[in-house]
Amino acid sequence: MIAATLGLAACGETFTAAERDVIHADGQGIMRVLSIDIEADSLALREESLPMSESLLRTEEYALLRERMLQTVQNPEAEGVGIAAPQVGVRRAMIAVQRFDKEGEPFEFYLNPEIVERIGEKADGGEGCLSVPELYGNVSRWQHIVLRYRDEQWVEHTEHIEGFTAVIFQHEVDHLSGRLFIDYLSADGFEEPIAE
């Protein structure tokens, strides 16, 4: 019994059984996005995320979660520019952001991201969220931030980010603390969905 326990500890942290169930639910492909329209989902979206660890990064579940989150945020029926792991039911500090400030505008993944500095001015801009269906609002966000995070090689970085990409990071990092863009709006700050 002691040898088995020591062997498990040496392997490092793993995703919980509940997290593994979510990651493997429905096999492959697009994941179910939690919605504020469902009470249990709404409560889950308000929870603080747990940190990622290097041992979690090295698991098969991380690779699958990463791939499925990417498919989910790029779903043509509900496309986004960023997604946080809590939005798909995995309460870990992991986000994907489309880098409009880089050539090719790639999606990149960030582990344990935190905004360590806000610089200059805020500006208003329209926002929506995959977890807040058909609601849009005007949110005031910083236009220049300093972000500290770990990459997928577990290397720590500190990066200055500006413009729309900085806004996306603020929105996604908020998810890790249980905040949604609607928290920044007054009761009359919502806009009707744009008719297609």
**Is 158 a member of any domain?**
yes
**Is 196 a member of any domain?**
no
Contact between 156 and 150 under an 8 Å Cβ cutoff? The reply is yes
Contact between 33 and 131 under an 8 Å Cβ cutoff? The reply is yes
What is the CB-side half-sphere exposure of residue 15 using CA atoms within 13 A?
24
Alpha-carbon distance values, 15 to 20, 68, 153 (Å): 6, 16, 18
- Give the pLDDT confidence score for residue 27 in this predicted structure: 77
Residue 169 phi/psi, 5° resolution?
Answer: -60, -45
pLDDT in tens, 76-89: 999 999 999 999 99
Domain count, the chain: 1
pLDDT in tens, 140-192: 999 999 999 999 999 999 999 999 999 999 999 999 999 999 999 864 444 44
**Is 104 a member of any domain?**
yes
Query: Which of 5-9, 134-138, 150-154 has the lowest average pLDDT?
Result: 5-9
Of residues 133 and 28, which shows the higher confidence score?
133
**Is 135 a member of any domain?**
yes
Residues marked as catalytic: 172
Among candidate residues 13, 176, 149, 179, the one with its CA nearest the CA of residue 92? 176
Query: Which of 23-27, 58-62, 116-120 has the lowest average pLDDT?
Result: 23-27
CATH number reported for the structural domain that contains residue 86 in this entry: 3.90.45.10
Domain interval for residue 146: 2-191
pLDDT in tens, 16-47: 999 999 999 987 899 999 999 999 999 999 99
**Is 43 a member of any domain?**
yes
How far apart (Å, rounded) are the C-alpha atoms in residues 121 and 142?
6
Q: Rounded mean pLDDT of 130-134?
A: 94
Among candidate residues 109, 118, 114, the one with its CA nearest the CA of residue 154? 109
**Is 161 a member of any domain?**
yes
Give the pTM.
0.88
Let me know if 182 is exposed, middle or buried by CB neighbors in 10 A (0-12, 13-18, 19+): middle
How far apart (Å, rounded) are the C-alpha atoms in residues 140 and 84?
20
Distance of CA 172 to the CA centre of its chain: 5
- Give the pLDDT confidence score for residue 13 in this predicted structure: 86
**Is 14 a member of any domain?**
yes
